[in-house]
Structure 1
Amino acid sequence: MKSMMMYNPTHTPIATYRLQLNEHFTFRDVHDILDYLHALGVSTIYASPVLGAVKGSTHGYDGTDPHQVSPAIGTLEEWRALSARLKERGMSWLQDIVPNHLAYDADNPRLMDVMERGPLSPYYRYFDINWEHPSKELHGKLQLPFLDKPLAECIAEGRFQLRFTSAGYVLQCGEQAYPLSMPAYELLLQAVPAITTAAPFGELVTALQEAAEQSSSLQAWQAAKQQLIVDFTQQQGSDTLAVAVAETVNISPSLLPALLDKLYYHWEYWRKTESEINYRRFFTVNQLITLRMEEEAVFDEYHTFLAQLYREGLIQGMRIDHIDGLQEPGTYIRRLRRLLGDDLYLIAEKILEGAERLPADWALQGSSGYDFLATVNQLLTDGGGAQKLLRFYRCLSAVPVKYERLVREQKELILSAYMGGEWENLVHDCYTLGLADGSYTRDQLKAAIGLFMVCMPVYRAYPEDWPLSAVDQQVIRSAFDKAAQLAPLLSPVLEMMAAWWHPGIGNKDINVKGMVFLKRLMQFTGPLTAKGVEDTAFYIYHPLISHNEVGDTPGVLGKLDARAFHAHMVERQAQHPFTMNATSTHDTKRGEDARIRLNMLTLLADKWIQQVQTWHSMNAACCTRRGQDTIPGLNEEYLIYQSLIGSFPIDGLADITFIERFCAFLVKALREGKAHTNWSEPNVDYENACTSFVQQLLSPEHPFLDSFVPFLEQVKALAVRYSLAQVLLRITAPGIPDLYQGAELWELSFVDPDNRRPVNYRSRQVWLSALIEKEREGYAALLAYLEAHAQSGVEKLYVTWKALQYRRAHAQLFLEGSYVPLSTTDDAYLAYARRQEDQWCIVVCPLPCTPVQVVEEVSSLVLLPEGAPLKWCNLFTGEEVEVSNGGLSLSCLQTFPVALLTPMI
């Protein structure tokens, strides 16, 4: 049977363009840029989540209602009109969906129904809540962890207020207000009989209780409740009566605690979740509550509207966000395929570690492209220069030399300090399932579970059926072996755990229970890795921050050569030809061209090291001294210099906007690193000292810029050719090229939210129109125009446009054609062909190598296989090249840094 990863759906994109939709960029704005995107060569709009989300959401991953379009983005009718225009242009829509979680927010109607009706709500088991939590406060109640101080203090300060609204009673604390649970209405009758004995109020409470029990759906309950309240408020004096009840509770020191006890939720200080929690979160974000998507009823309810959108033709593809959060991703994918069919283009967000591959039985076209980003990033880094930078960093920084050790320490920190509640729950699950036989203490079992999680070599395994797959067994065995090596005293406990999942060791009953536990455990190893690595270690370990990137690793620098790249691409075409090729996303830590600039430091390693030493001395007076400490420390100072290289404006001017953006990035980086400050307990003095350092450096009166800008110019001059190489690789290598919004020009953004700033599409339309006009005048005029506007980013737009146009005109060559590695007579180049029957093209890109020198392209050849055409034309320059001495001369690269050669017939 042909794998779905090899299946070419009807709506496979030719090239996608990622758009971040929100109240500031809506369906109407997409309308306005549609002609531009089509002219650029884009086939598919790749949209961020567009369903109901919290008010003011900038990204859509904080959804509130999966059954409606977000009003901030537009209406269903607007989407239909947009879809019609897409179809007129032969374009399609790829939709990002978020089945793992919804927002923990008062605008989430399903969650509010649970809080109001408890077990009577059809959504009682919809969310991943442990209603049987061992804590007395949380047993039968949903934790509500949004107080800024302990509950008792909030009560003592009189911060809780009961209010009567058009939707019934709500309990408010500050700006937060949640519905009063139905059992609490009965308490109102009992607590304030002097007021509530009035017939209308008692009748309202009774009627509400009956309606809550009889309403099988949320819609029926909301309609019934609304009508009952309207009928009540129309009776003379009822409003006064309802308000009097609330005021009586609000001034009574005994009534409020009694009322709180009757709720289906428990108000809590937000930091309590670090040690105790009874719902699964997205990572460690209290405001995002996860769903029990493994339950078929939950799956069916959640996807009702999405299925309608797909069948109506508004959606042709989907990207599954955070698939690692689902208990059984494989089952989820199979259900989605049964619901929507094989012609849905389907990819998943999945970070692959090292040699890890997507599970072969997942019915996907592939992933969202982090693996491609990492492969290209490593290819475009000089290994020798990277090692020089690593040695320098080891002398410079007090960070442990072994990156593997640093990662382990940060995962341990996250588990103990931020995921302590989840850790405790997992231990409790072992006892509840009967897996712990009493041979070891609770503390020993907890330590073993924690160490196993920390030692997972990948984000997670994917257990579904017994026995485990060979791949999962290998992953789990690796984690146990590493854990036993680190903590020999825990070996007996670890071996007991290993028996739960090893065929032939444990008994059948233990294996069944062990599978239940393993599925649960795997929903937390992913968040632990993400928080420990992406959101902590990446902000501490700085030998070359271009590799502190989603999907990549700073633990390996520049060790992927042309031969290894070819091997990756041959496998990619054979196994995942329709997977996504990304180099910038909404989740990347910095823009794709910022990474290339930073990679150029490996070509200028000796000069860079000298510059950093010079700057360190030059800027010493800008540091703040606190006792024996200097702020920023050397590690943070080195991060600042690298970040300036990557992000400094193209025009070489650091205006107030850039300085503000840089300082905002720096504060986020410092808090994520958690060494001197963090999000839970910000050290504002330390942060201010660091931002003051930056502000002084970038002041026109300071000599730093006079030294920095000339060096940056050397970096930029080198970076152009490799940025263009990155573009061409993304568009022509196996996979579907994805272009992040605005990245058709230089993309130098910081991590979010900076990379989600509005894009100036007007300027891009002007640039593209100019390129089209200049091409009509001939290649001489076009190349002169590019040279006149060098470094503006227009050369990147040009390569993007020309390559996408060629890809659209020869779609099957790139979708289904083979990938043919080509040899060159010079290691400074990478070359390959794409071939389908008699269709060919050849791609030639420069590779970084040291020492930096001018390579004699005239004498360099690309060696061609037998049967290849003899005459070629460079798509970017119009130059013609003929085969000579068994190869093609690379003289064309003297005119333009990269080449896309097409046969001349």
Structure 2
Amino acid sequence: MPTGSDVLTGVTPTSTYRLQLRPEFPFAAAEAVVPHLASLGVSHLHLSPVLEAVPGSTHGYDVTDHTRVRAELGGEAGLRALARTARGHGLGLVLDIVPNHMAVPSPLRLNVPLWEVLREGPDSPYARWFDIDWEADGGQVLLPVLAEPPGPQDFTPDREAGLLRHGDWEFPLREGTAELALPELLAAQWYRPAWWREARTELNYRRFFTISDLIGVRVEDPEVFAATHTKVLELVRGGVAEGLRIDHVDGLADPEGYLRRLRSAVGDGCWVVVEKILARQERLPPAWPVAGTTGYDALYRVDGVLTDPEGAAELALRYQEFTGSADWRETARAAAREVLTGDLAAELAALERAAGPGPAAGVRELLIAYPVYRPYPGGPELDPRALAEAAAG
């Protein structure tokens, strides 16, 4: 591990400059702009995700392999070269990491854990990685990746390769099913390839919001955490990065538990912030071992400097009169109901199944009325006003 002057340790950024890495702007291109950014007074470069992602990805949040730095960006050698150049100009690196989800990529085999789950089903060692409801959809994982509704004739088994093909898509064949007739072969798989529109109502795995090609990862499992964080921890402990930005922390089952495990792994010297959307009166849970949020709440206040409250109120009133729309509270509630029962119908159905037939309607109304993004395990009691609104709804 580098020591002494080779590593900037325990430094809190005074200002960060975010660089969106992509194949057209790899580590080498970022390295070339370091002198200019240093001249602006920047203390740290905030890099978009650097781990292996879907080929050609322009953002990197669709991770496919947690063990490797992305080759299209220049690989680990390129990242380390960028870190050395940045350090030579007095700058540190903050890495953006994505613990909540992985890609459902094309080709599927790029996500090895998911590929093995599709081949081996719930008995796969990788099944613990993903939130899959194996009791839904007849015990098959719905894969809403096809452009059109498929018919059995659209699939072709490649028995020698152990694959099922549909156009450019390849799926793994379950062991012992290759010689079955096509209808029986399709029914015997641990997955069901489907038209992408089926995800809205039939999806049976946790995803990132409404994006079905990002499957949720169970980092609350210690083994999954270890497997998905080995490279990131190596980069932090080796002095390549001195800060981490945690993407979509609210997608995790237990954000505090995750952050405590992460803090224990990276030590007190690593600067950690979370992407967290705070409501107006909401505060970050004080027990979270982080330096703060990535700044949505700060941006709201900065934007407020440019907004005259009296003028904003008058504009809102005139808009309401002109359009005939309801006030903001009613509009937000109607929008929440529309999204929950439409785009998130599959997720709502899963929660209603978990709650049972009696409380199902109450669960729906509580989700619509709840005033903040989400509550947390061990947190305060549910908001009484939201409970009252849910009961009235």
> Is structure 2 residue 390 aligned with structure 1 residue 483?
yes
Paired with 1:68 and 1:24, the residues of 2 have a C-alpha distance of 19
Paired with 2:294 and 2:52, the residues of 1 have a C-alpha distance of 23
RMSD: 1.6
Paired with 1:279 and 1:120, the residues of 2 have a C-alpha distance of 16
Paired with 2:31 and 2:286, the residues of 1 have a C-alpha distance of 38
Aligned partner letter, 1:379 = V
The residue number in structure 2 matching 1:449 is 363
Paired with 2:221 and 2:97, the residues of 1 have a C-alpha distance of 18
The offset of 1:349, in angstroms, is 0.2
| Equivalent residue runs for 1:686-835 within 5 Å | none
Aligned partner letter, 1:65 = D
The offset of 1:117, in angstroms, is 2.5
Aligned partner letter, 1:312 = G
Paired with 2:257 and 2:293, the residues of 1 have a C-alpha distance of 17
The offset of 1:361, in angstroms, is 0.2
The offset of 1:482, in angstroms, is 2.0
| 1:555-581 superposed Cα distances (whole Å, 9 cap, x missing partner) | xxxxxxxxxxxxxxxxxxxxxxxxxxx
The residue number in structure 1 matching 2:4 is none
The residue number in structure 2 matching 1:183 is 176
| 1:861-897 superposed Cα distances (whole Å, 9 cap, x missing partner) | xxxxxxxxxxxxxxxxxxxxxxxxxxxxxxxxxxxxx
The offset of 1:256, in angstroms, is 1.2
> Is structure 2 residue 231 aligned with structure 1 residue 305?
yes
The offset of 1:150, in angstroms, is 3.4
**Unaligned regions of 5+ residues in structure 2, if any?**
1-8
The offset of 1:384, in angstroms, is 2.3
The runs of at least 4 consecutive aligned structure 1 residues that moved more than 4 Å come to none
| 1:206-254 superposed Cα distances (whole Å, 9 cap, x missing partner) | xxxxxxxxxxxxxxxxxxxxxxxxxxxxxxxxxxxxxxxxxxxxxxxxx
> Is structure 2 residue 345 aligned with structure 1 residue 420?
yes
Kept after mapping to 2: 8 A contact 1:14/1:42: yes
- Provide the secondary structure at the position in 2 that maps to 1:396: helix
Aligned partner letter, 1:424 = A
The residue number in structure 2 matching 1:97 is 97
| 1:346-371 superposed Cα distances (whole Å, 9 cap, x missing partner) | 00000110110000000000000011
The residue number in structure 2 matching 1:11 is 11
Paired with 1:86 and 1:335, the residues of 2 have a C-alpha distance of 29
Aligned to 1:386, which of 312, 316, 319?
Answer: 312
- Provide the secondary structure at the position in 2 that maps to 1:28: helix
- Provide the secondary structure at the position in 1 that maps to 2:162: strand
Paired with 1:119 and 1:449, the residues of 2 have a C-alpha distance of 28
Kept after mapping to 2: 8 A contact 1:461/1:476: no
| 1:307-341 superposed Cα distances (whole Å, 9 cap, x missing partner) | 11111111110000000000100000000011110
- Provide the secondary structure at the position in 2 that maps to 1:95: strand
Paired with 1:26 and 1:321, the residues of 2 have a C-alpha distance of 21
The residue number in structure 2 matching 1:260 is 186
- Provide the secondary structure at the position in 2 that maps to 1:293: coil
| Equivalent residue runs for 1:891-902 within 5 Å | none
The residue number in structure 1 matching 2:157 is 162
How many aligned positions are there? Answer: 382
| 1:71-90 superposed Cα distances (whole Å, 9 cap, x missing partner) | 11111111112211122122
The residue number in structure 1 matching 2:265 is 339
The offset of 1:420, in angstroms, is 1.5
Paired with 1:284 and 1:119, the residues of 2 have a C-alpha distance of 24
| 1:254-289 superposed Cα distances (whole Å, 9 cap, x missing partner) | x21111122111122222222222100100111110
Paired with 2:71 and 2:280, the residues of 1 have a C-alpha distance of 41
- Provide the secondary structure at the position in 2 that maps to 1:183: coil
- Provide the secondary structure at the position in 1 that maps to 2:290: coil
The offset of 1:417, in angstroms, is 1.3
Aligned partner letter, 1:375 = R
Kept after mapping to 2: 8 A contact 1:183/1:263: no
Structure (1 or 2) with the larger CA radius of gyration: 1
Describe the shift of the 1:463–1:477 C-alpha distance in structure 2 as closer, same or farther (beyond 3 A).
farther
The residue number in structure 1 matching 2:127 is 124
Paired with 1:281 and 1:15, the residues of 2 have a C-alpha distance of 33
The residue number in structure 1 matching 2:62 is 62
The offset of 1:120, in angstroms, is 4.7
Which structure has the higher relative contact order (CA within 8 Å, separation 6+)?
A: 2
- Provide the secondary structure at the position in 2 that maps to 1:352: coil
Paired with 1:339 and 1:405, the residues of 2 have a C-alpha distance of 45
> Is structure 2 residue 327 aligned with structure 1 residue 327?
no
Describe the shift of the 1:445–1:119 C-alpha distance in structure 2 as closer, same or farther (beyond 3 A).
closer
Identity among equivalent pairs (%): 38
The residue number in structure 2 matching 1:53 is 53
Output the TM-score relative to the length of structure 1.
Answer: 0.41
> Is structure 2 residue 315 aligned with structure 1 residue 408?
no
> Is structure 2 residue 374 aligned with structure 1 residue 460?
yes
The offset of 1:146, in angstroms, is 1.8
- Provide the secondary structure at the position in 2 that maps to 1:303: helix
The residue number in structure 1 matching 2:6 is none
> Is structure 2 residue 141 aligned with structure 1 residue 142?
yes
Kept after mapping to 2: 8 A contact 1:16/1:46: yes
User: Greater CA deviation, 447-456 or 170-179?
Assistant: 170-179
The residue number in structure 2 matching 1:596 is none
Paired with 2:353 and 2:88, the residues of 1 have a C-alpha distance of 57
Aligned partner letter, 1:484 = A
The residue number in structure 1 matching 2:41 is 41
Output the TM-score relative to the length of structure 2.
Answer: 0.93
The offset of 1:427, in angstroms, is 1.7
Aligned partner letter, 2:236 = Y
Aligned to 1:171, which of 164, 168, 173?
Answer: 164
The offset of 1:164, in angstroms, is 6.0
| Equivalent residue runs for 1:495-514 within 5 Å | none
Paired with 1:47 and 1:164, the residues of 2 have a C-alpha distance of 43
Kept after mapping to 2: 8 A contact 1:180/1:263: yes
Kept after mapping to 1: 8 A contact 2:122/2:134: no
The offset of 1:445, in angstroms, is 2.8
Kept after mapping to 1: 8 A contact 2:54/2:63: yes
Paired with 2:78 and 2:145, the residues of 1 have a C-alpha distance of 36
| Equivalent residue runs for 1:204-353 within 5 Å | 255-353=181-279
Paired with 2:195 and 2:85, the residues of 1 have a C-alpha distance of 50
| 1:717-758 superposed Cα distances (whole Å, 9 cap, x missing partner) | xxxxxxxxxxxxxxxxxxxxxxxxxxxxxxxxxxxxxxxxxx
The offset of 1:119, in angstroms, is 4.0
Aligned partner letter, 2:19 = L
Kept after mapping to 1: 8 A contact 2:34/2:89: no
Higher helix share: 1
Paired with 1:456 and 1:270, the residues of 2 have a C-alpha distance of 30
Paired with 1:103 and 1:258, the residues of 2 have a C-alpha distance of 29
Aligned partner letter, 1:162 = P
Paired with 2:176 and 2:371, the residues of 1 have a C-alpha distance of 48
Kept after mapping to 1: 8 A contact 2:16/2:46: yes
The residue number in structure 2 matching 1:80 is 80
